[in-house]
Amino acid sequence: MSFPVTIVTPAPAGAWRPLEMLEAALGRAGLELRRFGGDGRDTGMLAHVARSSSAVVYTVPPDAPAVGAAADFVHTVRGYNDRVPILLFGEQLTARGIPQPVLARIDGVVNAYEDTPDFLARKIHREVSHYLGQLPPPFFEALLRYAGDGAYSWHCPGHSGGTAFLKSPVGTLFHEFFGENLLRADVCNAVEDLGQLLDHSGPIADSERLAARTFRADHLYFVTNGTSTSNKIVWNSLVGPGDIVAVDRNCHKSVLHAIILTGAVPIYLMPARNKAGVIGPIPRREFTAAALQEKIEASPLIADKSRPIRLLTLTQSTYDGIIYRADELRRSLDGVVDAIHFDEAWLPHAAFHPFYEGMHGVANDRDRTGRTVVYATQSTHKLLAGLSQASQILVQDTTDGHFDERVFAQAYRMHTSTSPQYAIIASCDVSAEMMAGRRGPALVEETITEAMEFRRAIIRVGDERAADGDWWFGVWGPDTPARTGLAERTEWELTADAAWHGFDRVDDGFTMLDPIKVTLTTPGLTVHGEFSAPGSPSIPGVVLARYLAEHGVVVEKTGLYSLFVLFTIGITKGRWNSLVAELHRFKSAYDGNAAIERLMPAFAKAFPEYARRGLRDLCEALHGTYRDADLAELTTAVYTEPVEQVTIPADAWTAMAAGRVEHVPVEKLAGRVTAVLLTPYPPGIPLLVPGERISASIVRFLRYEQILAHRWPGFTGITHGVVDEDGLHRTVACLA
C-alpha cells in the first residue's frame, strides 16, 4: 500500500543539509517519500496530503518565517484527518516557541542534530507503523489478515480463493480483471476468525459497534443485500397480519413488498407533487394523531378502528431530495405509533454536518422518545463509499427500552443470506470508519460545496445567456446568491410563498431540499405544468439523457424535462465541470440542428429511423407529442388522485400466487382490481398497490405509454407489472 511520508517545506529550504540527511535516512528505513512545497493555502492539495500520507513532516528551516505559520497548516490538515501523524522538524524547536494550538494537535517535534538521522527515521517509522496499523476497522483488519495468510481453502465458494478461475481462459480474464485480493477475500461463513454476520459476533460485531458510535445509534447492523432488504428486516421484526401501518404513498417498492409479506393493513400519507414530476413533502397535519385516526376511520379494510398504528414509514429523503424535520416528527409521533421507520436510503450523510441538524431519524445524543422506537435504514452504497448493496439498519431505543433485540435477530436471519459477500461487509465497515472523527464532516462539507458550486455555475451561465436572449439549462431549487462556500440552510427550507418548488401544499419550517440532490432542468416545461410554445427551445429530458450516456455521463434519473444528478462524497470538480462542458456541447449541437447519426452514432445504429433527423427537429417533435397529450397533467393526476382500496395487498398477492387472476388487456382495465404493483420507470414509484382499483386516468396513462412506445421507440419508459404479450397487446394481472 502506497502511503508516503510527506515532507512539507512551506518556505524554500534550498540545500538545507539536515533535511537532506533526514530524507536519506527515511529512504534507508524503507519509507516512500513525497515533497510538498507552498504556503499551505491550497486546500485541495492539503486534503490530498491529509488523506494519502502515512505521516506529515512539517519543516521549519532556520531562515524560515516564524513557526506560527504552521498553525493554519495543522488546522487545515486536521480538518481532513484527525489521526495522521504530524511532526515538526527544525533545529531549535521548543514548546516555548510553538503556539499552543499547534502543540495540541501535532504528534511530536523532531530537532536536527539532537539525534542521528537514522534514529529520527526510526522514530518516524514507528509513528507510520502505528498509524497504518490502526487504519483498518476490526472486520476489514481481520479480512486483510485472513486473505494475506496464504492458507488453503477447503470450504465454499468453489473457486477456492480464485484458483478455479485460472483453469479456464475466460476465468483467467475474470481473475485478472477483479484481482487476487478480492477473490481471496471471498470466503465462507465457516471462517470463524472473521465472525458471523447472522449472529453479529467476532470482528463483525466489533465493527458494528464502532459504526453505531460513528452514526450516533444505539444499535447498528450491516446488511449485504441492499436497503430493500433492510426495510423488510425492520418490518418483519415489528409487523404481523392485520397490523395497521402508515406509509408514505411514494415510498420505495420494497416497503410495499413488506406490506405484502407481513399481511399489514396500510393507510397512506399523501405527498404533494409538482407538474414537472418532482415529489414534494407530505403536509405536517398528516402526521397528527387526529389525521391518522381519520384515515383509519375512512379505511374499508380496518374493522376495529381502535387498533393502534404499529409502524409508520417515511421516505427521508425523497428521490428528489426533500427531507423532513425528523426531530419534530419524533416528538409529535411519540406514543401515537409504536415505531417510526425513516427510510434514509438517500440520507446516510446527514449525521455528519450541522447543515442537516435535526433532519435525520436516529441520533442518540438528542432527546429520546418515551414509547416509540426509532429505526433508520441507509444505503451506504448510494452516497457514501460502500459497494453496491451495502446497507445498514440504525436503531434508537426509547427511554424505557422497548427495542426487542431478540425478535429483531430472528427477522434479520430470515432475510440475510447464509453466504454473505464479505467484500460488501468490509465496505460497510470501511465506509463507516471513513466518516468517523473529523473525516466525515470534512467529506460531507466537500460534497455540499461541490454541489453548490455546480448549481451556481449553471445559474451563472443561464443569467449570462438570458441577458443575450439565449437559452440554457436550469437547476431546480432556490436561486442562491452568487458566492462561494457552503449554502445557508434557511435558503433551502421550503416555504409556502416560494415559487421555485411548484408545490401547492407546503408547511413553513417543516421540510428542506438537500442541495446535493441536483435536478437539472431543460427548457420546455415549468414546475407549474406550462409547456413552451412551438418554436421555443424545448428539450425532453430523455433526449439529453441519451446524448449524455453516449458521451460517458450516466445520470441517476430522468424526468419529462429534467435529469437527476447525484453528488456523493466521490464527486470532484473535474467530474462536474466535465458535465458542464458536455451541456455546452449539447447546446451547440441543438442550436445547429446537428444530425443524430453524428451526435449519437450508437443510438442511431440501434434506432436507424432517427439517424438523419436533426437534434432540434427531434426534440421539437417529441415535445409536441408531450404537449398535445398534456403529459405533465396526466403523469401528475395518476399519482395524486384518490385510490380505492378493495382488499389488503397480501390477499391480492395470495390470489396471484394461487392463479385466481385474469390477465386483462390495458384498454379494459378500468374498474378492475390489480393483483400486482404497477410501477412506471422512470421514476420507479408505484402507481398502484395490489388490491387497489384501477382508475380511468391510469388506463389513459398506460394506453398513452403504449402509443409513445410505438411512436417514439428508444425514448419511452416502461411500467413494471404490465406484461407485453406479443408486442401489440399488453395486459395486467387483476383479481378474478
Digit-coded pLDDT (tens) for 356-378: 999 999 999 999 999 999 999 99
* Overall average pLDDT of the 156-175 stretch: 89
Residue 473 neighbours by CB under 8 Å, 6+ apart: 458, 462, 520, 521, 522, 523, 583
Mean pLDDT of 323-343: 97
Residue 151 pLDDT greater than 80, yes or no: no
Residue 501 has pLDDT above 90, yes or no: yes
Residue 176 to residue 178: CA distance in whole angstroms: 6
Contact 353, 285 (CB under 8 A): no
Q: What is the pLDDT of residue 64?
A: 59
CB atoms within 10 A of CB 60: 25
Question: What's the predicted TM-score (pTM) here?
Answer: 0.92
- Cβ atoms of residues 486 and 448 within 8 Å: yes
Q: What is the mean pLDDT of the chain?
A: 92
Does residue 186 register a pLDDT over 70? yes
**Is residue 5 a contact partner of residue 55, using CB atoms and an 8 Å limit?**
yes
Q: What percent of the chain has pLDDT over 70?
A: 96
Q: Which residues of 544-577 are buried (b: 16+ CB within 10 A; e: fewer)?
A: bbbbbeeeebebbbbbbbbbbbbbbbebeeeebe
SS3 (DSSP) at 556:
coil
For residues 622 and 235, give the distance between their C-alpha atoms in angstroms, rounded to a whole number.
43
pLDDT at 481: 66
Q: Model confidence at 63, in pLDDT bands (50, 70, 90)?
A: low
For residue 272, CA distances in Å to 269, 356, 635 come to 10, 22, 13
Report in angstroms the alpha-carbon separations of 64 from 58, 580, 584. Answer: 12, 42, 47
Average pLDDT over residues 9-34: 85
The pLDDT value recorded for residue 14 is 61
Q: So what's the pLDDT on residue 94?
A: 77
What pLDDT is stored for residue 61 in this prediction? 74
Q: Pick 1 or 243 by higher pLDDT.
A: 243
- The domain defined by 641-735 carries CATH number 3.30.70.270: no
Look at residue 383 and give its three-state secondary structure: coil
Contact, 557 vs 276, CB < 8 A?
no
CA distances from 317 to 342, 377, 513 (A): 9, 11, 9
How far apart are the C-alpha atoms of 672 and 664, rounded to whole Å? 9
**Beta bridge pairs of residue 391:** 223
Phi first, then psi: give them for residue 245, nearest 5 degrees: -130, 145
pLDDT score of 325 more than 70: yes
Closest by Cα among 292, 283, 249 to 645: 249
Give Dmax over CA atoms of the chain in angstroms: 92
The pLDDT tens digits of the residues spanning 556-576 come to: 889 999 999 989 988 888 889
pLDDT 10s digits, 503-533: 988 999 999 999 999 999 999 999 999 999 9
SS3 402: coil
In tens, the pLDDT along 671-728 reads 999 999 999 887 778 999 999 999 999 999 999 998 898 899 999 888 999 998 876 7
Q: Which of the listed CATH numbers 2.60.40.10, 1.20.1250.20, 3.90.1150.10, 3.30.1490.150 matches domain 440-623?
A: 3.90.1150.10
> How many whole angstroms separate alpha carbon 413 and alpha carbon 437?
32
| pLDDT tops 60 at residue 13 | no
User: From 3.50.50.60, 3.40.640.10, 1.10.10.10, 3.40.50.1820, which CATH number describes the 193-434 domain?
Assistant: 3.40.640.10
Q: Given pLDDT bands bounded at 50, 70 and 90, which one contains residue 65?
A: low
Residue with cell 403523469: 635
68 confidence band (pLDDT: 50, 70, 90): low
Across the range 70-92, mean pLDDT stands at 88
**Residue 24 to residue 411: CA distance in whole angstroms:** 59
- Average pLDDT in the 283-296 region? 97
DSSP class per residue in 312-374:
EEEESS-TT-EEE-HHHHHHHHBTTEEEEEEE-TT-TTGGG-GGGTT-SS--TTSPPPSS-EE
pLDDT at 196 over 60: yes
Which pLDDT value is given to residue 158? 86
Q: Average pLDDT of 218-229?
A: 96
Confidence grade of residue 36 (pLDDT, cut at 50, 70, 90):
confident
User: What is the per-residue pLDDT across 449-485, written as a single tens digit (0 to 9) for each?
Assistant: 999 999 999 999 999 999 999 999 999 999 776 677 7
β strands within 60-153, DSSP E = 86-90, 108-111
- pLDDT band for 292, please (50, 70, 90 cuts): very high
Q: Which residue has the higher pLDDT, 721 or 68?
A: 721
Backbone angles phi, psi at 236, to 5 degrees: -70, -20
User: What tens digit of pLDDT does each residue of 585-622 get?
Assistant: 999 999 999 999 999 999 999 999 999 999 999 999 99
Between CA 560 and CA 705 the distance in angstroms is 13
What pLDDT is attached to residue 11?
65
Half-sphere exposure of 314 (CA within 13 A, CB side): 31
Say yes or no to pLDDT of 545 above 70.
yes
**Average pLDDT estimate for 162-178:** 92
Query: Per CATH, the architecture of 5-133 is what?
Result: 3-Layer(aba) Sandwich (3.40)
pLDDT for the residue numbered 157:
84
For residues 234 and 257, the answer to whether their CB atoms sit within 8 Å is: no
Strands, sheet with 373-378, edge to edge from the N-terminal-most edge strand: 219-223, 391-396, 373-378, 337-343, 309-315, 244-248, 265-269
pLDDT average, residue stretch 47-72: 80
CA atoms within 13 A on the CB side of 707: 12
Q: 285's torsion region: left (phi>0), alpha (psi -120 to 50) or beta? A: alpha
The stretches of 113-184 forming alpha helices (DSSP H) are: 117-133, 138-147, 169-178, 180-184
Q: Give the percent of the chain with pLDDT over 90.
A: 74
Asked whether residue 442 carries a pLDDT value surpassing 60, the answer given is yes
User: In the chain, what are the domain boundaries?
Assistant: 5-133, 193-434, 440-623, 641-735
Q: Phi and psi at residue 483, in whole multiples of 5°?
A: -145, 180
Q: At 94, which helix (H) or strand (E)?
A: none
In terms of Cα–Cα distance, which of 558, 556, 583, 580 is closest to 568? Answer: 556
Q: Residue 340 — pLDDT band, cuts 50, 70, 90?
A: very high
On the question of pLDDT at 38 being above 70, the answer is no
Q: How far apart are CA 406 and CA 404, in angstroms?
A: 5
Q: Hey, how many other C-beta atoms are within 10 angstroms of the C-beta on 657?
A: 10
- 657 confidence band (pLDDT: 50, 70, 90): very high
How many angstroms from the chain centroid is the CA of residue 710?
Answer: 34
Higher pLDDT, 149 or 665: 665
Task: Give the DSSP letter of residue 675.
Answer: S
